[in-house]
Amino acid sequence: MHRRPPLRLRQHRPILQIVLALATAIGCLVLPAVCFPEQASSPPQDIVFKNATVMTASHGTIEHGSVWVHAGKIAGVGTSVNAPADAVAVDATGQWLTPGIIDPHSHSALDSDVNEATSPVTPSMHMIDAFDNRDKALYQALAGGVTTELLLHGSANMIGGQAVVIKNKVGLDRDAMLFPNAHGSIKFASGENPKRVYGSRNQLPSTRMGNFEVMRQAFEDAKEYMASWDGYNAKVAKGDKDAVAPKRDLKLDALADVLRGKLYVQIHCYRADEFLTEEAIAHEYGYKIRAFHHALEMYKVADKIAPENTAIATFADWWGYKDEAWDAIPWNAVMSMREGVKVALKSDSNDHIRRLNQEAGKMVHYGGATEDEAIRMVTLNPAWIIGVDDHTGSIDVGKDADLVLWNKDPLSTYARAQKVYIDGDLFFDASLPGLGTPHFKGVMHDAGGFGGEDGEDGQ
Amino acid sequence: MKKLIVIALLSAAPLFLSAADAPKKTIAITGARLLTVSHGIIENGTLVMADGKITAVGESGKVTVPSNAEVVDAHGMTVYPGLIDPETNFGLLEIGSDENTTDTAEPSDEIMPHMRVADAFHAETELIPVARLNGITNAVVAPASDDTIAGQDIFIQLAGADRDAMILGRDVALAMNFGAEQRRRGSHSAFPSTRMGLITQLRQSFFDAQDYMAKRDAAAKKDEKPEAKKDDKAESKKDDKSDTKKDDKADKPFKRDLKLEALIPYLKGERPVVIGVYEGYDIETIMKVAQEFHLKVILNHVTHSQEVLDKIAAYKVPVIVGSIYDFPRANERFDAVYTLPAELAKRGVKIAISSADAGGPVSSHSSRNLPYAAGFAVAYGLPYDEALKAITLNVADMFGFGDKLGSLDVGKTANVVLANGDPLDVRTSVKQVYIDGAAVPMVSRQTQLRDEYKK
């Protein structure tokens, strides 16, 4: 089931998930291929794509354009490039070339370990500890042109866990799929989910008042913790050999990182009033909010949020699945963009992640985004939210060669990803038989098709 | 028209189509690209609507525009029949997480043929105007898939003066399901907890209904006969009813069994049963039962049927295929489900496509995305005209409205959509929807919010 069904329907699902989990667990024991995938040889040093419609995402579209890739980086882009004669040429006549699609809100490949829903404040959870790099969802997303994902904690907790940024190099081992040196992000939530999860257990929080109070209290604890460490460090600096280090507390360590600005704060938040409250609390405690996720009511207050330099990662047109999604309108993204908010589209779903390009295409319809603006919502803008826009998200010299070749205009319904390159290496090729994965020959896992639209599945 | 829009903007309540009440103008859409569905594409065509019906369709110049017609110059525009969503829960579900707004299924038993969607259909739902703005003009409303027999569907028009005007057909089909989902009692150690149990229960229900039908018919005959000798005997019976003896049992008034009675039209093959089933082996199992009882089948979903496609074709039944966004299994090719409409159509199967999302239909908030599912099927090999049929004429045919809806043909209901391009492309904007020959105000709760906050 994809859309959030009435709660009682969902009771059937854990059974299915247990069955699937058992099946995959057994598969792993029985089939050694699960643990030893083949890996293809290294990619060519130079590749040149010729005669493509190049949608750069940063500087417009180049008709009959060429892109030169050298050693995994983009070395040239334009109507002509200075690629060496021995570069592997890809004739892209009649095809479109875009940056790899980037999803700033995914819960794929976490084997249902999305929410540590045992406390409303769990900042020391690290999603990498649950990352299953063989989940079929990664492959299915790759086949839809997705090259980078931010795998987030769910929204059960006001302060959730720390995200992991991956490059969708299906077939490589776990650590080879991590985005090198990516900035850390932490997931916060607000609204219905935390208050429902804890309220249903008669715990704090059970209201939006409780939600925000839990958050403030956590930061008060963190301030005290920081002060004790600052005091200790000052003593050490003065040469005080008797200084006793405070006890390390992983939870408070993580919160201190938020207050010190070391983690990007990604907040699950729907309602206009809550954006304002979240910004006020951020000001009060001195951190910045990188992005509001879902953000379905941003169109109501976009002019107030734009000066905060907080982006949004929103749905194209999902609505109505819960009360706080009742005022969602499909013009939200473009209206907010016109007010100066940086806008990305995201999946929050193993389904929609496979066709984020179409979600971008809808923005041409809903609000009249230009094709350039639309493609940016699934490439450069999500790259900014994740903090990897210096490395990927557009076709510019020096950036990683994360590229997708499409048979039709990627903003249309009809586009299929033909080839997907990450760091200049071919990870998906639709013309190949079987899975079309040059690097993956093993057996995939199935975590049951996560499809929740607001990150609360897996509870 | 202008007045209607004003009314719409002032009204906080969602619209039914107030236009339906307005006197029907004659409208001529000229110079448009007409996708007729039934007889190809007319590049520069004219379509005339009068009295709620399509009265002329053809090349511009060959069609006479009546002198009283309001002319809509549609050069550069595309015109096509209103889209028909073959599976929704419009009016049964408003806010997904709010059970108070949910009337999608009655899960107290697996066999619930007497649940009638018509009894729960909330015509004022906000979901309908939202879908309508993207060119959806008709839909099947079905219960959710909890039960083996979930209830009886309605066929609706997405505008009308009131609920009854919007329901074009009550009890048009029986909603059935078979697969893992219906085994829910297993967790309570109650029957049925397996597919064996589900099938036994289902067959027994059909036999019970056949038996009931025989008894009812016999009782009816008996009722007829005494008509002639509607005698003192009957009168006297009435008096000493209290001490009815065994022998007199048959003379008791026949007590209706609503549940079994509901199955009769379907056992007689008078109306279709829509069977939601995903796995190939489940399809084979349930089709055996369907054939045993001579049911008139429409298969639904079949998303993991790749290995039995030829068999499905051999059943000679229509198929609502998808959601094509349903997930392939691990280690299947990524497009194993995307390609199903094309594979079935290639085998001569009459297909429809619904707006259901991955894993099955749970809410109809995204019914407006129906044309994009059809377009995506085109991306994976379905011929364009088949795709358009799969969301118009084929759906109308399957549910008994093929003579009234689904194509631009003279005499059909004037449900017509005017858009600025290809209806199956996500970038296309619908500019005007006509239902029953009247322009629908292009307003929903969402456009009202948009306009309220627009700078």
In the chain, the amino acid numbered B233 is K
**pLDDT over 70 (residue A133):** yes
Taking CA atoms, A450 is separated from A136, B364, B386, in Å, by 11, 19, 31
Residue B368 near chain A (CB below 8 Å): yes
Q: What is the pLDDT of residue B357?
A: 77
Q: Which residues of A touch B101 (CB under 8 A)?
A: none
B 170-199 residues with CB below 8 A of A? 180-181, 184, 186-187
How many contacts does A have with B, using Cβ atoms within 8 A? 174
**pLDDT over 70 (residue A36):** no
**pLDDT over 70 (residue B6):** no
Q: Which residues of B touch A339 (CB under 8 A)?
A: 455
Please tell me the least confidently modeled range out of A158-162, B13-17, B347-351.
Answer: B13-17
Cα(A117)–Cα(A125) distance, rounded to whole angstroms? Answer: 11
B96:A1 CB<8 A: no
In the chain, the amino acid numbered A164 is V
Give the neighbor-by-neighbor strand order of the sheet with A146-151. Answer: A101-106, A146-151, A164-167
- Phi and psi based region of residue B35 (left: phi greater than 0; alpha: psi -120 to 50; beta: remaining): beta
Reported ipTM exceeds the 0.85 cut: yes
Residue B385 near chain A (CB below 8 Å): no
Nearest CB among B95, B104, B107 relative to A320 is that of B95
In the chain, the amino acid numbered B164 is D
Tokens of A220: 């008060």
Q: Which residues of B touch A414 (CB under 8 A)?
A: 375-376, 378-379, 425
How many Cα atoms within 13 Å fall on the side-chain side of residue A404? Answer: 35
Please tell me the least confidently modeled range out of B118-132, B176-190, B291-305.
Answer: B176-190
Q: Which residues of B touch A413 (CB under 8 A)?
A: 372, 375-376, 378-379, 424-426
* Among candidate residues B421, B3, B14, the one with its CA nearest the CA of residue A365: B421
Band of pLDDT at residue A109, cut at 50, 70 and 90: very high
**pLDDT over 70 (residue B18):** no
Min distance B326 CA to chain A CA atoms (Å): 8
Band of pLDDT at residue A454, cut at 50, 70 and 90: very low
**pLDDT over 60 (residue B312):** yes
**pLDDT over 80 (residue A8):** no
Cα(B164)–Cα(B170) distance, rounded to whole angstroms? Answer: 10
Give the neighbor-by-neighbor strand order of the sheet with A264-269. Answer: A159-162, A185-188, A264-269, A289-294, A311-314, A343-345
* Cβ-Cβ contacts under 8 Å for A234 (sequence gap 6 or more): none
pLDDT tens for each residue of B242-251: 454 555 555 6
Q: What is the pLDDT of residue B359?
A: 60
A 354-413 residues with CB below 8 A of B? 354-355, 358, 361-362, 364-365, 408, 411-413
Q: What is the pLDDT of residue B5?
A: 41
Tokens of A120: 């409303």
Q: Is B149 exposed, middle or buried (0-12, 13-18, 19+ CB in 10 A)?
A: buried
Cα(B324)–Cα(B360) distance, rounded to whole angstroms? Answer: 10
Helix A208-237 / helix A192-199 crossing angle, nearest 10 deg: 100
Residue A305 near chain B (CB below 8 Å): no
**pLDDT over 60 (residue B14):** no
E strands, A272-352, where?
289-294, 311-314, 343-345
Q: What is the pLDDT of residue B250?
A: 54
Min distance B302 CA to chain A CA atoms (Å): 15
Residue A2 near chain B (CB below 8 Å): yes
B 266-295 residues with CB below 8 A of A? none
Output the average pLDDT for chain B.
Answer: 90
Q: Which residues of A touch B93 (CB under 8 A)?
A: 6
Cα(B49)–Cα(B348) distance, rounded to whole angstroms? Answer: 34
**pLDDT over 60 (residue A9):** no
Secondary structure (DSSP) of B321-374? E--TTSPPPTTS-TTTTTTHHHHHHHTT--EEE----TTS----TTGGGHHHHH
Check whether the bond before B192 is cis (ω within 30° of 0): yes
Please tell me the least confidently modeled range out of A35-39, B390-394, B422-426, B438-442.
Answer: A35-39
Mean pLDDT of A255-265: 97
Q: Which residues of B touch A330 (CB under 8 A)?
A: 446
Please tell me the least confidently modeled range out of A18-22, A418-422, B435-439.
Answer: A18-22
Min distance B167 CA to chain A CA atoms (Å): 24
Band of pLDDT at residue B252, cut at 50, 70 and 90: confident
Tokens of A46: 């130079």
Phi, psi of A226 (to 5 degrees): -60, -40
Give the residue, B231 or A83, on which the prediction is more confident. A83
Residue A9 near chain B (CB below 8 Å): yes
Nearest CB among A299, A326, A412 relative to B95 is that of A326
Most confident of A21-25, A55-59, A108-112: A55-59
Taking CA atoms, A30 is separated from A107, A136, A198, A440, in Å, by 27, 18, 40, 19
Q: Which residues of A touch B454 (CB under 8 A)?
A: 335
* Among candidate residues B212, B219, B225, B314, the one with its CA nearest the CA of residue B268: B212
B 4-23 residues with CB below 8 A of A? none
* Cβ-Cβ contacts under 8 Å for B264 (sequence gap 6 or more): B209, B212, B213
Residue B450 near chain A (CB below 8 Å): yes
Mean pLDDT of A382-400: 98
Nearest CB among A6, A140, A415 relative to B99 is that of A6
Q: Which residues of A touch B126 (CB under 8 A)?
A: 320
Which of B130, B366, B453, B454 is the best substitution to test chain A (most A C-beta atoms within 10 A)?
B453
Band of pLDDT at residue B97, cut at 50, 70 and 90: confident
In the chain, the amino acid numbered A201 is R
* Cβ-Cβ contacts under 8 Å for B260 (sequence gap 6 or more): B205, B208, B209, B212, B213
Q: Which residues of A touch B128 (CB under 8 A)?
A: none
A139:B334 CB<8 A: yes
**pLDDT over 60 (residue A23):** no
Q: Which residues of A touch B279 (CB under 8 A)?
A: none
Mean pLDDT of A61-68: 98
* Residue in B closest to A331 by C-alpha: B450
- The helix/strand/coil state of A70 is strand
Nearest CB among B104, B186, B328 relative to A6 is that of B104
A 183-212 residues with CB below 8 A of B? 192
Residue B144 near chain A (CB below 8 Å): yes
* Among candidate residues A137, A259, A235, A91, the one with its CA nearest the CA of residue A186: A259
Taking CA atoms, A35 is separated from A20, A23, A141, in Å, by 18, 15, 21
B95:A351 CB<8 A: no
Cα(B406)–Cα(B142) distance, rounded to whole angstroms? Answer: 20
Whether residue A318 contacts residue B366, with contact meaning beta carbons closer than 8 Å, is answered with: yes
Q: Which residues of A touch B375 (CB under 8 A)?
A: 412-414
B378:A414 CB<8 A: yes
Cα(A350)–Cα(A337) distance, rounded to whole angstroms? Answer: 26
DSSP code, position B92:
T
Q: What is the pLDDT of residue B21?
A: 52
Q: What is the pLDDT of residue A41?
A: 65
* Residue in B closest to A27 by C-alpha: B330
Tokens of A58: 């940063």
**pLDDT over 80 (residue B22):** no
Band of pLDDT at residue A456, cut at 50, 70 and 90: very low
**pLDDT over 50 (residue B13):** no
B96:A322 CB<8 A: yes
**pLDDT over 80 (residue A32):** no
B446:A329 CB<8 A: yes
How many Cα atoms within 13 Å fall on the side-chain side of residue B60? Answer: 16
Give the position of tokens 């029907």: B24
Q: What is the pLDDT of residue A18?
A: 43
Residue A339 near chain B (CB below 8 Å): yes
Q: Which residues of A touch B184 (CB under 8 A)?
A: 11-12
Q: How many CB atoms lie within 10 A of CB A265?
A: 20
B366:A445 CB<8 A: no
- What are the structural domains of chain B? 1-82+406-455 (2.30.40.10), 83-195+261-403 (3.20.20.140)
* Cβ-Cβ contacts under 8 Å for B125 (sequence gap 6 or more): B14, B90, B91, B94
